[in-house]
């Protein structure tokens, strides 16, 4: 059921639709090197094969892991004879330096048109020299309705599908496949194929496909991923941003993904960072509660660890938020790194040695406890004494701190 034309490709209209970049390239016969980037089963190889069919150029396919310089030399020699060739490289992010160095001059001259396919973010994984000579096209998972259309086509296509078979498809079967294939059309078609071919016909020579059969044939989508890969960072980013944005449902969804992938360490670290970075002074009890939940989760292990983790995530989402403390520190660090910070005022300098008083160290220092807990005096260096870093938020418990901070400022300026 692999598409043979751009129009048959499902879920990637932003790339292959009418008037979109790839279609314009092909129609104008101006195809240039491209990198197709996206999750498995979204059609990277399919698009490359369609390009091979609709262009008149010689087409060669290699794998960056298993193919070496010898295979590429053969492609280049043919291109020199014929004028130009397309080279499709699967797992292009695994190209080593030797392979890249060999290919670069032929990409620059236009002798070789590279079509690279990768599941990893090319901005992180692919050498700049290759990347700068390619147009990066990102593929996304198709919608369930689009996958269902492909399944319908497979059922009725007499040449490539099951159109010649007498099938009785229970209501909801195609929806089940489309919804639970993880966006992978190949996985959905595989599930349908296994169901049809493994089911014996009844006395009327009819193959009946029920929901129970299709659930058995659907492979559980693996949620394990490369912990250096793009998908990994996208999930943990979405997890933390959902907690920061107070979206409990979204945060629990991404927590579920991380739990299914067995990433307990990653979950715990993100929870603790969020407690201090995003809740902070607005609810000073939350970091301790989160730490307790983490310790419980580590002792319990999965699957029971999910219980304290769910409590911690919900609490983090619904707690008031404040990042004012660490933002204030970041501003102070920026000043320390970028401007003349000046000398510590003499009355604050260490005076615990003989001769310190003669140097003016510690002289006129006012001990706050002798003045009821606070006394007006200068603490910042001379040319920074008007500087303010902390900008309190009127959020949760920090509202009380904001009032104190405001009062101290009033006293300092009186």
Domain identity same for 258 and 211: no
pLDDT at 18 (0 to 100): 86
pTM score over 0.75? no
Domains identified in the chain, total number: 4
**Could you say which of 186, 217, 248 is where a domain stops?**
217
Q: 318 is written with which tokens? A: 């619904």
111 lies in some domain = yes
Q: Which two tokens stand for residue 109?
A: 């001259």
> How confident is the model at residue 220, as a pLDDT?
57
CATH number of the domain that residue 288 is part of: 1.20.272.10
Note whether residue 325 is domain-resident: no
In a domain, 335, yes or no: no
CATH number where 85 lies: 3.40.50.300
- Provide the 8-state DSSP code for 182: T
What pLDDT shows up at residue 224?
47
**What is the pLDDT at residue 353?**
85
Structural domain contains residue 323? no
Residue 373, domain CATH: 1.10.3710.10
Evaluate whether residue 243 is within a structural domain: yes
| Whether 22 and 126 share a structural domain | yes
C-alpha distances out from residue 197 to 148, 153, 155, 209, Å: 19, 17, 13, 10
Q: Same structural domain for residues 213 and 255?
A: no
> Where is 136: in which H helix or E strand?
strand 135-138
For residue 111 the two structure tokens come to 């002798």
pLDDT of residue 183: 80
Residue 407 exposure: Cα atoms within 13 Å on the Cβ side: 8
Is residue 311 one of the residues assigned to a domain?
yes
Domain that residue 302 falls in:
230-318
Name the residue among 85, 74, 87 with its Cα closest to residue 115. 87
310 shares its domain with 203 = no
User: Is position 332 within any domain?
Assistant: no
| Same domain membership, residue 118 and residue 20 | yes
Is residue 67 located within the same domain as residue 125?
yes
HEC readout, 98-124? HHHHHHHHHHHHCCEEEEEEECCCHHH
Both 133 and 171 in one domain: the answer is no
Whether 41 contacts 184, CB under 8 Å: yes
**Are residues 36 and 134 located together in one domain of the fold?**
yes
The predicted structure's pLDDT at residue 228? 52
Copy the structure tokens of residue 72: 């590429």
Say whether both 16 and 126 belong to one domain.
yes
Extract the runs of DSSP E, i.e. beta strands, from 5-66. 34-37, 59-63
| Spatial separation of the C-alpha atoms in residues 109 and 33, rounded to whole Å | 11
The pLDDT of residue 229 is: 57
Domain boundary among 91, 116, 138: 138
State whether 378 and 289 are in the same domain: no
15 and 128, same domain (yes or no): yes
Domain with residue 156: its CATH number is 1.10.8.60
Using alpha carbons only, how large is the chain's radius of gyration in Å? Answer: 31
Structural domain contains residue 357: yes
Examine the domain organization and report whether 13 and 111 are in the same domain. Answer: yes
Per-residue pLDDT of the chain (414 residues; tens, 9 = 90+): 888 888 888 888 888 888 888 888 888 878 889 999 988 878 898 899 888 888 878 888 888 888 777 888 888 998 998 888 999 998 888 888 888 888 889 998 889 999 999 988 888 778 788 888 899 999 988 888 999 999 999 999 999 999 999 999 999 899 988 888 878 888 889 999 999 999 999 888 899 999 889 888 876 554 445 555 567 788 899 999 999 999 999 999 999 989 988 888 899 999 999 999 999 999 989 999 999 999 999 999 888 999 999 999 999 999 999 999 999 999 999 988 888 788 899 988 888 888 888 888 888 899 999 999 989 999 999 888 888 999 998 888 889 889 988 999 888 888
């Amino acid at each position: 059921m692999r598409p043979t034309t751009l129009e048959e490709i499902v879920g990637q209209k932003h790339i292959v639709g009418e008037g979109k970049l790839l279609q314009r390239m092909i129609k104008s016969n101006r195809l240039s090197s491209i990198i197709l980037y996206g999750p498995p089963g979204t059609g990277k190889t399919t698009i490359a094969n369609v390009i091979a069919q609709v262009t008149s150029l010689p087409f060669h396919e290699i794998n960056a892991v298993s193919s070496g310089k010898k295979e590429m030399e053969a492609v280049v020699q043919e291109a020199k004879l014929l004028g130009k060739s397309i080279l499709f490289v699967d797992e292009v992010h695994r190209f080593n330096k030797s392979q890249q160095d060999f290919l670069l001059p032929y990409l620059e001259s236009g002798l070789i048109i590279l079509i690279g396919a990768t599941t990893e973010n090319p901005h992180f994984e692919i050498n700049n020299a290759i990347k700068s000579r390619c147009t990066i096209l990102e593929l996304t998972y198709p919608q369930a309705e689009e996958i269902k259309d492909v399944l319908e086509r497979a059922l009725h296509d007499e040449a490539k599908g099951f159109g010649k078979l007498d099938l009785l498809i229970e209501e909801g079967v195609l929806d089940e496949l489309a919804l639970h294939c993880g966006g992978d059309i190949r996985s959905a078609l595989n599930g349908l194929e296994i169901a049809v071919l493994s089911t014996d016909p009844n006395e009327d020579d009819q193959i009946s496909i029920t929901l129970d059969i299709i659930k058995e044939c659907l492979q559980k989508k693996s949620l394990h991923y490369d912990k250096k890969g793009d998908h990994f960072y996208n999930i943990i980013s979405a997890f933390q941003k959902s907690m920061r944005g107070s979206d409990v449902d979204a945060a629990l969804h991404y927590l579920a993904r991380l739990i299914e992938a067995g990433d307990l360490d990653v979950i715990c670290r993100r929870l603790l960072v969020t407690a201090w970075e995003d809740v902070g002074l607005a609810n000073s009890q939350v970091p301790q509660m989160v730490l307790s939940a983490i310790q419980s989760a580590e002792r319990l292990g999965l699957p029971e660890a999910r219980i304290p983790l769910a409590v911690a995530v919900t609490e983090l989402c619904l707690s008031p938020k404040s990042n004012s403390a660490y933002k204030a520190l970041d501003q102070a660090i920026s000043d320390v790194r970028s401007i003349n910070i000046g000398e510590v005022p003499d009355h604050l300098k260490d005076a615990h040695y003989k001769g310190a008083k003669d140097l003016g160290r510690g002289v006129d220092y006012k001990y706050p406890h002798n003045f009821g807990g606070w006394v007006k005096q200068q603490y910042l260096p001379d040319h920074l004494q008007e500087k303010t870093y902390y900008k309190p938020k009127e959020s949760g418990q920090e509202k009380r701190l904001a009032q104190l901070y405001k009062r101290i400022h009033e006293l300092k300026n009186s």
